[in-house]
Chains A and B, each alone.
Chain A
């Protein structure tokens, strides 16, 4: 048997918006952008989804706490999910943001989840500039 390793020796830039967003996560900050109407979009986008207009890059730090707008309790996580035990996917409106971010809430039990609850970011010690550098926990548990 022979072993082959396939490599893609490319580097690429993530651009002027997602790049700083992921670098911010590495440094322990969540960044949003302000659109022309003054609304703060998180995750930040290069174009306004409502109008299609380019967004002048104006970063705003949001969170690290926020409010759960809706949630789903995952009983059996797949190997692609960010947590290996039951957790909630939630749309979280971070403090200072006008849109909600999809992320995981490590609540321990479905009984602890409810719409409107407060959650706060829990950062990994080793961060790589990746959306999974953080997850969320109920605020009272933090």
Chain B
């Protein structure tokens, strides 16, 4: 595979309820990513978007998001009904063809108009799961209980993860949930859906993220510090939650191995752990030791713009390399219930 680099990235601040429409809050994000990449809109040979029409409650809502890209004169573009991290994967594959040298990937979601507990069951098996109203918090609670029963996590550790995420988010201008708080106070809160308390859950967020990719020659020509994608892979597990081990993430482990995380030390990991217990599960699946800085941005517990949050992890991992001098980082994105599908991307500086 040819080396592809990240040459620009941007995010919107995550908000509980954005007053702007999705194309409106996407526009400045895409403009900023392109500007930082030091290219022009007309240089982009391929555009791929990740979004979910169910969130807007409107078929082909994703087409309107192209207003934020500018689709005249006609452009070459595609869309995935997935997190923007998978849009980046498609753009990365597209660049391998070698006939274009710049691609744009973005993800956006406006969760505020709907109720996630009613919308998410629609992504599940329509005969055995959707009619039960199997919502993401309940599904995650089944997973957390399984981990507690197995002894691979404690409620105390889950609260510690939440506190650390909020503390890290204090310096992240895009985060939605910040602050310190202490573990004992959080553990005195009632359960939302036992064994999960409010701090174990992600916020409901509106937001967007965008990344500009380039081939090696183009990246060196326009960018002082390109961030190289050394490996990227995604894997999926059975859909039925009762047909896999919820206390492990085999698909994350496989994706990590195929993305080459073992080829060198990881300094920073940005993980799409949308529930506190999932951070520990992912750390173990990826073999990340205590020396690895996990979610310095605050992660998905601090801001969860659905369909943009995974791509935001890639943007944050790239930011750690290009702005904070980290030499090797990994980003993780997820899709489906209880970490059913997982993507791992390994990034390096020089």
Contact = CB atoms under 8 A, between A and B. Distances in A.
Nearest to A93: B242
Interface of A: 14, 18, 21-22, 41-43, 45, 49-50, 69-75, 77-82, 89-93, 99-104, 110, 115, 130-132
A71 B132 contact: no
B129 A102 contact: yes
User: Interface SS of chain B: helix, strand, loop or mixed?
Assistant: mixed
Contact of A74 (B115, B143, B193, B237): B193
Interface string B236-251: 0111111110100000
B53 interface: no
A70 B140 CA distance: 11
Interface in B16-62: none
A49 B193 contact: no
B141 interface: yes
Interface string B140-166: 011111100100000000000000000
B287 interface: no
Nearest to B146: A70
Given A70-B246, A102-B132, 8 more contacts: A43-B128, A73-B191, A75-B191, A78-B117, A102-B240, A103-B132, A104-B132, A115-B149
B243 A41 contact: yes
A106 B125 CA distance: 22
B172 interface: no
A80 B118 CA distance: 7
Contact-residue size bin, chain B (C-beta under 8 Å from the other chain)? 35 or more
A49 B118 CA distance: 27
B127 interface: yes
21 contacts: A18-B127, A41-B243, A49-B238, A49-B244, A70-B246, A71-B142, A71-B145, A73-B191, A73-B193, A73-B194, A74-B138, A78-B115, A80-B118, A80-B121, A80-B135, A89-B139, A92-B242, A99-B240, A99-B243, A131-B132, A132-B132
Contacts of B145: 70-72, 115
Contacts of A93: 242
Given A69-B242, A99-B242, A110 B142 contact: no
A22 B216 CA distance: 55
B241 A91 contact: yes
Contacts of B133: 77-82
Contacts of A130: 131
Contacts of A99: 240, 242-243
Interface string B189-202: 00111111000000
B127 A89 contact: no
B219 interface: no
Nearest to A77: B133
Contacts of B196: 72
A31 B243 CA distance: 16
B294 interface: no
A22 B243 CA distance: 19
Given A49-B239, A74-B138, A99-B242, A82 B118 contact: no
B278 to A, nearest CB: 15
A79 B135 CA distance: 11
B329 interface: no
Contacts of B125: 43
B44 to A, nearest CB: 37
B308 interface: no
Contacts of B144: 72
With a 10 A CB-CB cut-off, give which of A14, A18, A71, A115 has the most chain B CB atoms. A71
Contacts of B195: 72
A131 B128 contact: yes
B189 to A, nearest CB: 13
Nearest to A98: B243
A93 B146 CA distance: 14
Interface in B228-261: 237-244, 246
Nearest to B134: A102
Contacts of A80: 117-118, 121, 133, 135
Q: Which 3 pairs show the lowest CB-CB distances between chains A and B?
A: A100-B242, A80-B133, A72-B141
A93 B243 CA distance: 10
A89 B144 CA distance: 13
B290 to A, nearest CB: 28
A131 B243 contact: no
B194 A72 contact: yes
A102 B130 CA distance: 11
